[in-house]
Structure 1
């Protein structure tokens, strides 16, 4: 085989044979028979690249990384040298993909790949497993402390804002780490352990790293069982709504209810949403649960109408994960159409952290919901950072004071000051104020004097099932709700 430069100056790979014909009259030399292999070699190289490298980022793919990990495990077993495996997952990548499009998501993945390669040595390996999942293999590392320093470097490098499609977005990453051969000498088990540690990092608030511990195995088994139970409950229609009345302080009458999702567990009884909502978010079941809750709420509104309560409004809670799902708006329109509910009877409670999303896309969503005739409530106001500009520019109708401020009234001066300020601000912006979590007469007295329009909480009623709610609504005409 040989490489020959052609007339255009390009190198070509050739294969051939030669025949010595030095004694043949008229030839007196050597005859070469050559075949151009350039295209064949290029095709073979491309096939190799497709088989072992990620076509988007150029990083090693799952298959090549598995081979490299197996090699490092064998070497560590023989020599006793330590190595480390990191499993990385971008926080909130799906939301970026859904809101800005797949091209923007691809650009982000390519940039992350470059950043990761810049954080490790040449002898280490970086691979993309698929989606927003990356792995890093530190082939030789002195101890877990050294692995933690590399993880810190990666966190600092990736925790920044990047411009995608004329939008500036912030990204963070959660990292799980397992040590080789200390945690295991099996490549598949090590991948599982690093994955478990990564999920633990997400549970602790994201943008951090966690080392694998044996306790994670037990927790993972329990989590898998809970996930299966949750999916089975969803298929078996084991979820119901309970309703907490919302009181108008001016006329002391129920003007609406807030729907709370409950799970009828075969062993634990009635389980509140707080105990399963995080798992539902992580597994994606939250999308189906959201539609189920909205549909049940719409049906209940119509049942209340038939019972003679024509003017009650029904509030349904939604998370950021649900609201930023690409199919959310279509789902709302479909449920309203299929149930026949009057849209202005519905209230949607939006978490305050929703204001941290892309302003343009958020406005488009809320304007579309407002155009449907749905009332929009900003929940947990005051719990975190909240843009006053957003309050002015977004089509909000109501704000709810976070229950943690109400809880400390009247004994905490800061709590009373915040509540008073929120009520005054809402009036200036022509927004209705609701105080949730009202449990004592002292709290109620303060809120009435401060000009709060509506309240809800255990002082008036706990969340009630359908039959108990009807009874409560009837009794309000027999005796005053506030005495």
Structure 2
């Protein structure tokens, strides 16, 4: 856009009258104060003002402006308004200023940093330029010194953006810097800008805070902040306290994961040295989560989520260590989270199905019962086996409604088999989590389900893990006893994997022990012979029989294993040698006959 050159590159014209000359009335000497004479106000005003012509040249300036800029009138008249107000440095302001001079814009207001002509401290001023108020030729330039206000605002911002305990940048400033760093790194022309983050949490700090008090805790945090700052100083990395005992080190223009890992090693080594706090020698360690990414592929929220997840991994892996973000591990975590959040709705939507694995007599090969195994027909992940979701269901409490559904479905199917094959009724065995005993009235649930389905109690067996049963006391033990009194069989699943008090077995209402597959695997022909395995199994079987219990061997995979287990005295076997878990209709074909090794999924 063409326009006035702001008083440069043009021959001087006749000097226009100053503001004092324009407003002096005829017949009145220069110092008069008659109406319309503004000279006194012009000279006495504390507001810095100048008159600017249409070419942008200063034609007059009051003493307040001369004082603000540290120069005399001659020094101001030699400069353009845009130059003394610092408008040329900003393209947007320069354009708007020219529009005012051309009459295309009413006024311009902005805040600019002014450099005094004779040197000295720079000042901040609110700049305003607009046409002269009396309709005369030219424009009025005013500058209001706001340096003290800016300094106060800066001090307040510093207090607002820094932690009072450690003097480090706080969470707000950290996220501000992080967003700026991401924008800058992502804006590189080739898109190769990277960013790294060390997110750390002190191990054991809460114990120090609770036992020695918050004053000592705050001093320790200050000492930690000092060491972190020293670690980050060589690379110029930002160190911030995000809250509590959490700190972050931001690595802008990251050179890769090795740089980040080296920084984490330096931090761990620095924090492992004891701290002297108020005459007390204190030791802490830190868990650190590391994330290093291309800036163009991430944003602040994702980066912090990834860092928080990785910090959790570091703590879960044993603390006092650093862990690098692993996309595959994170994907597994996200899958677990997705499954956990949809478990309860999945029960309501009936996305689960049951399959049944036969329990076969080791001597005669007759199918004596089945174990009900739940599968999740997930709309996104396909068919999921119990090890993918049962632990999640126990964690979030969904095991209670899921367990009720499994129990009722299995009992209903067992009733159907009983009516179809009255001469060979099948025992149905259902797994029960200990949380079902604590979080629901299992006895009432079982009684109601048996009543609704019409299944006799002696055709139902409930399996609980060894650790759950052997430590039973109070309510769990009472529930097991009431279920046994009802006629329901109780089995200990995975027996031999816990730390059993074998004498305790005689006081439990248990009817069956299911030997863990780790014992049976030692019976494989391809495995080196270990006489101790057979001796242990034989002793367990003999003990169980003396207590009036039956024994089921799990994970039977070959005829040799089945023969040896039968010779030792095991009652029934379960495993792929007989059958994998099958749909209910395929189990019907096996009832009353001999089991053979069949395929299945």
For the aligned pair, the TM-score class normalised by the smaller chain equals 0.5 to 0.7
Map 1:205-244 to 2 at 5 A. Answer: 211=323, 213=325, 215=327, 217-227=330-340, 230=343, 233-244=346-357
Give the Cα separation in 1 of the matches to 2:269 and 2:409. Answer: 50
Does the CA-based 8 Å contact 1:298-1:341 persist in structure 2? Answer: yes
> Structure 2 matches for 1:64-463, cutoff 5 A?
69-70=171-172, 84-86=199-201, 114=210, 122=219, 124=221, 136-139=244-247, 144=264, 177-178=288-289, 192-193=305-306, 196-197=309-310, 200=313, 211=323, 213=325, 215=327, 217-227=330-340, 230=343, 233-266=346-379, 270-309=383-422, 311-355=425-469, 357=471, 359-410=473-524, 411=527, 412-413=529-530, 414-463=532-581
Q: Secondary structure at the match of 2:325?
A: coil
Equivalent pairs, count: 361
| CA–CA distance in structure 2, aligned partners of residues 178 and 364 of structure 1 | 46
**Cα distance change of structure 1 residues 281 and 122 upon mapping to structure 2, 3 Å threshold:** farther
Report if the CA contact (8 A) 1:253-1:481 is conserved: no
Assess if the C-alpha contact under 8 Å between 1:87 and 1:198 holds in 2.
no
| 1:416-437 deviations in Å (ceiling 9; x for gaps) | 2222121122123222111111
Q: Is the 8 A contact 2:209 2:217 kept in 1?
A: no
Deviation at 1:249, TM superposition (A): 3.6
- What does the per-residue CA deviation read over 1:299-341, in whole Å, with 9 as the maximum and x for residues that have no partner? 1111112112463211011234444435544433443344343
Please tell me whether the aligned partners of residues 361 and 368 of structure 2 are also in contact (alpha carbons under 8 angstroms). yes
**Structure 1 pair 83/438, CA: closer, same or farther in 2 (3 Å)?**
closer
- Aligned-CA RMSD value: 4.7
Bigger mean CA offset, 220-229 vs 400-409? 220-229
Structure 1 gaps, min length 5: 1-66, 89-109, 126-134, 153-174
Deviation of the 1:289 alpha carbon: 1.9
Shift of the 194–268 alpha-carbon distance from structure 1 to 2, 3 Å rule, reads closer
Alpha-carbon distance in 2 for matches of 1:177, 1:284: 31
- 1:236-268 Cα shifts (integer Å, max 9, x gaps): 212111111212345542221111112234576
What is the deviation of 1:209?
7.8
Give the deviation of 1:346 after TM superposition. 1.0
Task: Spell out the pairing of 1:3-14 with structure 2 (5 A cutoff).
Answer: none
Cα distance in 2, alignment partners of residues 270 and 289 from structure 1: 16
The 8 Å contact of residues 196 and 220 in structure 1, kept in 2 or not, is answered as: no
Q: Is the 8 A contact 1:124 1:136 kept in 2?
A: no
Higher relative contact order (CA 8 A, sep 6+): 1
- Residue 378 of structure 1 deviates from its aligned partner by 0.5
- Could you say which residue in structure 1 is the equivalent of 2:79? none
**Alignment TM-score, normalising by the size of structure 1:** 0.60
The verdict on how the C-alpha distance between 1:86 and 1:150 changes in structure 2, with shifts beyond 3 A counting, is farther
TM-score by length of 2: 0.49
Aligned residue for 1:449, secondary structure, equals helix
Structure 2 stretches of 5 or more lacking a match? 1-168, 181-196, 223-242, 250-261, 273-285
Please give the alpha-carbon distance, in whole angstroms, between the structure 2 residues aligned to 1:383 and 1:218: 31
Match of 2:245, SS state, is: strand
Change (3 A) 1:356 1:137: farther
